Amino acid sequence: MRFSHKHLLGIEPLAPHEITMILDLAERYVDLNRGHAKHGDALTGLTQINMFFENSTRTQASFELAGMRLGADVMNMSMQASSIKKGETLIDTALTLNAMHPDLLVVRHPHSGAVDLLAQKVNCAVLNAGDGRHEHPTQALLDALTIRRAKGRLHRLSVAICGDIAHSRVARSNILLLGKMENRVKLIGPPTLMPSGIAEFGVEVYQDMAEGLQDVDVVMMLRLQKERMDGGFIPSEREYYHRYGLDAQKLAHAKPDAIVMHPGPMNRGVEIDGTIADDINRSVIQEQVEMGVAVRMAAMDILARNLRATPQEVMA
Amino acid sequence: MTTLLCNARLIDPEAGTDCLGAVLLDGAKISAVLTDVSEIEGAKARAAQTLDCGGKCLAPGIVDLGVKVCEPGERHKESFGSAGLAAAAGGVTTIITRPDTLPAIDTPETLEFIRRRANEAAPVHVLPMAALTKGRQGREMTEIGFLLDAGAVAFSDCDHVVRDTKVLSRALTYARSLGALVVGHPQEPTLSAGAAVTSGKFASLRGLPAVSPMAERMGMDRDIALLEMTGARYHADQITTARALPALDRARKNGLDITAGASIHHLTLNELDVADYRTFFKLKPPLRSEDDRLAVVEALASGLIDTLSSMHTPQDEESKRLPYEEAASGAVGLETLLPAALRLVHAGHLDLPALFRALSLNPAKRLGLPCGRLSKGAPADLVVFDPDTPFIMDRYTLRSKSRNTPFDGQRMQGRILATYVSGQQVYGRE
């Protein structure tokens, strides 16, 4: 089995066996990360550049650590402060970086499709660390790994994704991934925060938490993306919390062993009750962060293998 | 001097006929349209020059309503010279220019400049539209009377919808008193603010800001209500959705002076063509669903939509090579209008006379121009084309300074062989 992509731009182009391949490799890196000597050599000699055109702490730290643990030379570029402010176009920035011969480029950008555009212009492997409202593939992969470890499988599960679906790239990547792995996906949220055409995605849509959470195995909460909203999607945070915030009462509709997930950063008291987020029997939020490093190590390792292989081998 | 164009399939949009014959040109006018063999033989003997069209199609030249030539302001994107050459190569004999330039064409002085530049540089007829409000800002109407005297053929703020309904109602009332045609852009501007694609599954998958197709109907409904109030002459620049059509139909049946157009890109492409964020497919309004496309094609065939134009909008590489949301909207279309429109004929949606009704006759009629007809006394503005020759579109062969065509690399069918403006050949394919 081969991973037949040069870049990791989204979940959309991946085949189910490719998703499994990344997760299986990530399992091995979980063990490595829990050991004493947290060091591999899969990326030795390679240069990894993290380009974040949008603020990020956790994702950038996760990618940085993943690269360093596999022996890559890692450089962080905060694009907010750099030449982009001086009017340089994305493509010129990409070409400039390309001339420095990086091997792995990790990119986050506020506009959907910007990472695809950049990937067309560079020779190295590009990993999408989130583009606009489009995709955030490594987040979906780390969520999948967390679910698989907690539930023992990644198929025939009932998964609820709750909250601000419209502005969420995490939701898009998760809907695609969970669908490809043959799970039942339920979306719960106010209709103003549902993307258009959502009924054609092969998911069930609910506007009521109690109804939507009925007998689910996994509850995935999303952050209310206040910075992406241009006003007027919900009447107020307190009404939102009342109707869609996850508390013990609403969670009681899910299966007794249902797990609670959140991609972070959390708005406690807006979309999730603090006591649930901290409940070690239900919440796997810390585990998600741990899986994030392992999944990113696996993804970069697999792309690096393809970099070394000839094009014919990659496509075979 | 007389020239006889013989052995041609004459596409007459007025009569709705498509038959073999000849056209006799005398100077800048058509002096006879002949279908009788003995008459043609007689004309051959008398004509100073006889050209055999080899059985190819001969139709009245296209009148393209709504072309952006980027003078003044952005001559690096398109000049009158380059747009004129592109038009000639595309069988477009009259360009109706848009006023959405920098600065906007909103005074008689800038309009004079346009007319002078166009006459110097372009081999085809160029007739300018002027802005409806100063600076296309939607606050104060322009000097509609002076602009009419200076040669403006219609008034439009293009994609800047006049938000203030009171301002628009006054402008329409004033325009009506002078008999001026107002070209509107039916769109509810606050609903469509910031949108890059049409809402739906595709928009959500790509994570792009989207507008409901309903915004067009809402804009249409408002403008129609204002027409009822003011009685103005109105043309909707582009109808792109099925939902706007019933309103148009009712307005027409209620006797309002309203016509509507469609753009070639919305008739031949749909939202899925955007694929992986291809910015050459970013248009305003955005490409629609296949159902909408088919509904608009049907409306064009039935005559509910009157005109078909290129909505030629040149954009340079820099403004297109950006993330989709940030990239500029619009596509060039002067040279690809006819080959693309022939797709509708080859697909069986409409016949050639019906196509030229939308491309030539109807826009000319709406603007009160004598061209767009294949009849005695009409201007000798003609296009000779072969509707069947296949080719693959290569954008680097375009004559426009900007080459942002969505048809790059696509298979097309139909070539323009020659274009005549006022009896003079301005384009001939080798």
Q: What is the pLDDT of residues A121-138, one digit of tens each?
A: 999 999 999 999 999 999
Cis link prior to A190 (omega < 30° from 0)? no
* A161 pLDDT more than 70: yes
Q: Write the burial class of residue B347 (CB in 10 Å: 0-12 exposed, 13-18 middle, 19+ buried).
A: exposed
- Residue A264: the pLDDT is 87
Partner-chain residue, chosen from A89, A131, A197, that has the shortest CB–CB distance to B200: A197
- Provide the pLDDT confidence category of residue A83 given band limits of 50, 70 and 90: low
- Residue B27: the pLDDT is 93
Domain-embedded: residue B249 = yes
- Residue A26: the pLDDT is 97
Q: Tell me whether B325 touches chain A (CB under 8 Å).
A: yes
Is A191 within 8 Å of A207 (Cβ atoms)? yes
Partner-chain residue, chosen from B194, B200, B325, that has the shortest CB–CB distance to A111: B325
Partner-chain residue, chosen from B207, B212, B323, that has the shortest CB–CB distance to A133: B207
* A190-224 pLDDT per residue, tens: 999 999 998 889 999 999 999 999 999 999 999 98
Gap from B142 CA to chain A (nearest CA, Å): 34
The CATH number that applies at residue B98 is 3.20.20.140
Q: Name residues whose C-beta falls within 8 Å of residue A15's C-beta, 6 or more positions apart in sequence.
A: A4, A180
Domain-embedded: residue B312 = yes
- Residue B382: how many other CB atoms lie within 10 Å: 26
In terms of residue numbers, what domain contains B109? 61-367
Q: Which segment of A185-189, A236-240, B20-24, B82-86 scores lowest on mean pLDDT?
A: A236-240
Q: Do B200 and A196 touch (CB under 8 A)?
A: yes
- Provide the pLDDT confidence category of residue A92 given band limits of 50, 70 and 90: confident
Domain-embedded: residue B84 = yes
Q: Tell me whether A109 touches chain B (CB under 8 Å).
A: yes
Q: Tell me whether A10 touches chain B (CB under 8 Å).
A: no
- Residue A312: the pLDDT is 61
- Residue B345: the pLDDT is 97
Q: Kindly report the CATH class assigned to A7-136+290-309.
A: alpha beta
- Residue B104: the pLDDT is 96
Domain-embedded: residue B23 = no
- Residue A224: the pLDDT is 87
Gap from A135 CA to chain B (nearest CA, Å): 8
Q: Tell me whether B208 touches chain A (CB under 8 Å).
A: yes
Q: Write the burial class of residue A159 (CB in 10 Å: 0-12 exposed, 13-18 middle, 19+ buried).
A: buried
- Averaged over A4-27, what is the pLDDT? 97
Q: Do B324 and A198 touch (CB under 8 A)?
A: no
* A87 pLDDT more than 70: no
Q: Tell me whether B206 touches chain A (CB under 8 Å).
A: yes
Partner-chain residue, chosen from A117, A196, A201, that has the shortest CB–CB distance to B323: A117
- Residue A207: the pLDDT is 96
Q: Considering chain A, what percentage of its residues have pLDDT values greater than 90?
A: 77
* A261-272 pLDDT per residue, tens: 999 889 898 899
* Cα-based distances in Å from A299 to A33, A126, A187, A314: 15, 11, 27, 15
Is B347 within 8 Å of B385 (Cβ atoms)? no
Q: Tell me whether B318 touches chain A (CB under 8 Å).
A: yes
Instruction: Quote the ipTM score.
Output: 0.88
Cα A229 versus chain centre, distance = 20
Cis link prior to B387 (omega < 30° from 0)? no
Mean pLDDT, chain A, as a whole number?
92
- In the structure encoding, which two tokens stand for residue B84, read together? 């004129």
Q: Kindly report the CATH class assigned to A137-285.
A: alpha beta
* Higher-confidence position of B266 and A83: B266
Q: Tell me whether B202 touches chain A (CB under 8 Å).
A: yes
- Residue A288: the pLDDT is 97
Q: How many domains does chain B have?
A: 1
Is B286 within 8 Å of B211 (Cβ atoms)? yes
- Residue A88: the pLDDT is 75
* Higher-confidence position of B294 and A88: B294
* A311 pLDDT more than 80: no
- Between positions 74 and 103 of A, the ones with CB within 8 A of B are 89-91
Is B76 within 8 Å of B116 (Cβ atoms)? no
Per-residue pLDDT of chain B (430 residues; tens, 9 = 90+): 899 999 999 999 999 999 999 999 999 999 999 999 999 999 999 999 999 999 999 999 999 999 999 989 999 999 999 999 999 999 999 999 999 999 999 999 999 999 999 989 999 999 999 999 999 999 999 999 999 999 999 999 999 999 999 999 999 999 999 999 999 999 999 999 999 999 999 999 999 999 999 999 999 999 999 999 999 999 999 999 999 999 999 999 999 999 999 999 999 999 999 999 999 999 999 999 999 999 999 999 999 999 999 999 999 999 999 999 999 999 999 999 999 999 999 999 999 999 999 999 999 999 999 999 999 999 999 999 999 999 999 999 999 999 999 999 999 999 999 999 999 999 998 7
> A7-136+290-309 and A137-285: same fold?
yes
Residues of A in contact with B200 (CB under 8 A): 196-197, 200
* Cα-based distances in Å from B231 to A263, B250, B370: 58, 15, 25
- Residue B430: the pLDDT is 72
> Where are the domains positioned within chain A?
7-136+290-309, 137-285
Which of B238, B52, B78 shows the shortest CA–CA distance to B159? B238
Is A172 within 8 Å of A133 (Cβ atoms)? yes
- Provide the pLDDT confidence category of residue A86 given band limits of 50, 70 and 90: low
Least CA distance to A175: which residue of chain B?
A: B205
Torsion angle defined by CA atoms of residues B88, B90, B91 and B97, in that order, rounded to the nearest 10 degrees:
-70
- Residue A315: the pLDDT is 56
